[in-house]
Amino acid sequence: MRKLKNSELKRLKPEEFKKAEKSPLIVVLDNIRSLNNIGSVFRTSDAFRVKKIYLCGITARPPHKDIHRTALGATETVEWEYMENTIDAINALKKDEAKIISIEQAEGSIPLQEFNPEKNQTYALIFGNEVKGVQQKIVNASDACVEIPQFGTKHSFNIAVSAGIVLWDFYSKIHFK
């Protein structure tokens, strides 16, 4: 077995990425503090051809060297928009008929492995603040809450890890099943 060189991976060039068909997934970052988490979410969103990222509230915006350090250029490929209030992003997405899914531990939340996305439906996946999670008013405005099951002693995942798990799960269910 031989490790592949980057030149052998056949990845899209940035101009090809911008023209390529996107997954019916939108990421909404609700008051994310860590610039490294933001950059990591951009990079993961590039990997799964996310339609767009909404950066809301205190979430920092590119260009920023700490975002760039982990995004590795994904801020130039993935479309993004800043909105001061997360609820404004949610309301705009609802008008576009996106299903609003908060990734949160809540009463009635659906375990990730049990959630089955519809193939022709756009989903806006809301990821919340590293300490406080998704704001309650955003949870209230959501069509559903999806929870990543955990089996250890900690109460939550890092936001970048959560985004990776959820985006892969949704992407694989939409594109491979």
Cα distances (Å, whole numbers) of residue 18 to 22, 48, 75, 135, 152: 9, 13, 12, 31, 40
Domains of the chain: total: 1
Output the pLDDT for position 177: 81
Q: Which domain holds residue 52?
A: 20-175
Model pTM score = 0.97
Residue 87, in any domain of the structure: yes
Residue recorded with tokens 């705009």: 92
Residue 139, in any domain of the structure: yes
Query: pLDDT tens-digit profile of 123-168?
Result: 999 999 999 999 999 999 999 999 999 999 999 999 999 999 999 9
Residue 13, in any domain of the structure: no
CATH of the domain at 153: 3.40.1280.10
Percentage of residues of the chain with pLDDT beyond 70: 100
Residue 4, in any domain of the structure: no
Output the pLDDT for position 124: 98
What are the φ/ψ torsions at residue 87 (nearest 5 degrees)? Answer: -65, -30
Q: How far apart are CA 53 and CA 39, in angstroms?
A: 11
Nearest to 75 by CA among 90, 89, 60, 85: 60
